[in-house]
């Protein structure tokens, strides 16, 4: 979150982390100013779109973390609904620890020229980086 904030300030880009378990009213308030980068879970992002709190026309990038987990937990329809409401030129980032067929299906359906970045298990943590 701190990295996104710093990058946003430097690049003059507005972003928002939109996840369940946080205040809907806070999300709505923060989304009023317009957002270019949305990082979130499909349930909350879809909810904000349905409430018309998230205006998708200005979104330049959508980041979905743990895509494999979201698909395995039954969020497929919500993920599809989010993608269908995004502008055609939006950049989509799907992050996934595994690459099951469900994730590959989403990339084929909604992404143009997707790129896979695969990391070997023993290289997951770079030297000097602490994970919590």
pLDDT tens by residue, 7-19: 778 888 889 999 9
Does a structural domain hold residue 132? no
Contact predicate 19/44, CB 8 Å: yes
Question: What number is the average pLDDT over the span 94-115?
Answer: 81
Whole-model pTM: value is 0.78
Number of domains the chain contains: 1
Does a structural domain hold residue 128? no
CATH number at residue 72: 3.40.50.300
A 10 A CB-CB count for 119 gives 8
Give the domain range for residue 75: 2-123
Residue 123 is predicted with a pLDDT of: 54
Give every CB contact of residue 16 below 8 A, 6+ residues apart in sequence: 27, 30, 31, 35, 37, 38, 39, 40
**Nearest residue to 13 (alpha-carbon basis) of 59, 44, 65:** 59
């Amino acid at each position: 979150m701190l990295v996104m904030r710093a990058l946003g300030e430097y690049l003059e880009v507005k972003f928002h982390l939109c996840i369940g378990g946080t205040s809907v009213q806070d999300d709505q308030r923060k989304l009023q100013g317009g957002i270019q980068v949305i990082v979130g879970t499909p349930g909350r992002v879809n909810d904000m779109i349905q409430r018309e709190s998230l205006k998708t026309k200005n979104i330049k990038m959508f980041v979905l973390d743990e895509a494999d987990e979201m698909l395995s937990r039954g969020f497929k329809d919500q993920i599809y609904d989010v993608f269908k409401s995004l502008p055609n030129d939006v950049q989509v980032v799907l992050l996934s620890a595994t690459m099951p067929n469900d994730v590959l299906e989403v990339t084929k359906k909604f992404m143009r020229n997707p790129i896979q970045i695969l990391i070997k298990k023993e290289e997951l943590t770079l030297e000097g980086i602490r994970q919590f």
